[in-house]
A and B are shown apart, each in its own frame.
With several copies, the nearest count.
Chain A
């Protein structure tokens, strides 16, 4: 139970840090699961338009019980509402919007990220394959791709790798990774550590990261 609570707190920490990626006035796609949680932490002053790849630009709050419309869901199949100024469209138009790089930002979950920005987040060989949904399109779509994930797996092994071991969702597509421990940018020169979460040291991050990590000159510690 305590462990579960910890997990929830860690997820909230990641989501709150990810929220800082969202610039006011921008168009954002949030992946299913933890990324969807990010919406709960969007700061009051920010004007953000959230896109749902099933055909909605301008996701609003969850509906009140009496507002529920079964024809109105997000990509995670949860009932939602639409903001003022929203629009509905087909999946073809939705992915034209995504593929055409009209979204400013996508925040997606990850299973593994490589130091060259490869992302694996859709299948584990040997386990039932559920499908990639829209992830393979989205990683090539938004102007900035931010991945949020745990830094290590349950065995303590790094999920930030030299090379992904799982089948890829996209190759050289990730711009930034936010984990429970650190924030890293994928740059021409390699993977750069730019922020460290509260309670962790540079040495601990480097040690728990399989990928080669360059330390940013502007590294900030305890930012979240």
Chain B
């Protein structure tokens, strides 16, 4: 029922110069690794990218950045990447920083048909400048609008041919909201299974939100390996 790609180049072929894309992941966890690599190869330019972070210098969205394919980045924390800093200071890259919870909720709103909502995050700070402030129950809140994307590139552990997705542990992060907020959502899954394999009560992202799937092996680079010694 869904488009099942076998080539990552084909999977991203419809993404054009100037597209707005959402990319799942928190740090390097839960990012659609091969879709990002294919996007680098596609040389598509002038992208607006919505993602919590922007990868590291040599992996994830950092690769798109190094290749100067991103015009504008909307995220909450972009500090792991030296090339990012260089491009911002050189005026080559526009950045919109938004509190992480506001980012998550704006994306959820985009998928849920909620055009705007109020949140306390950012009241009385720089990011409230020019924004509408409103009082509910004696507390100030900022009006925030929904975010949508032309394409959402997300990653899941398991996907079925009906588009249902299941995520693994903290690799869930922004992926479910982005799945719903993309006009076209392409899911890179570690394992593609037949419908009926996933218990309907365990589905994290219902198939309706996903337009295409592709199976891909993940490197899963670790940013901060922290281990304890056997006691």
Contact = CB atoms under 8 A, between A and B. Distances in A.
Verify whether A and B have any Cβ pair under 8 Å.
yes
A90 B177 contact: yes
Interface centre among A27, A52, A94 (most CB of B within 10 A): A94
B127 to A, nearest CB: 7
A88 B171 CA distance: 9
Contacts of B79: 128, 130-131
Interface centre among A79, A101, A137 (most CB of B within 10 A): A137
Contact of B173 (A25, A78, A90): A90
Nearest to A53: B100
B101 A134 contact: yes
Contacts of A101: 113
B108 A92 contact: yes
A132 B76 CA distance: 6
Interface residues of B, number: 78
A210 to B, nearest CB: 20
B100 A91 contact: yes
Interface string B9-48: 0000000000000000011111000000000000000000
B228 A73 contact: no
A107 interface: no
Nearest to A62: B228
A63 B227 contact: yes
Interface of A: 25, 27, 47, 49, 51-58, 61-65, 68-73, 76-80, 82, 84-103, 118, 123, 128-138, 140-141, 167-172
Question: Which 9 pairs across A and B sit closest by C-beta, in order of nearness?
Answer: A130-B79, A95-B101, A171-B124, A85-B195, A99-B113, A85-B162, A137-B101, A96-B112, A70-B220
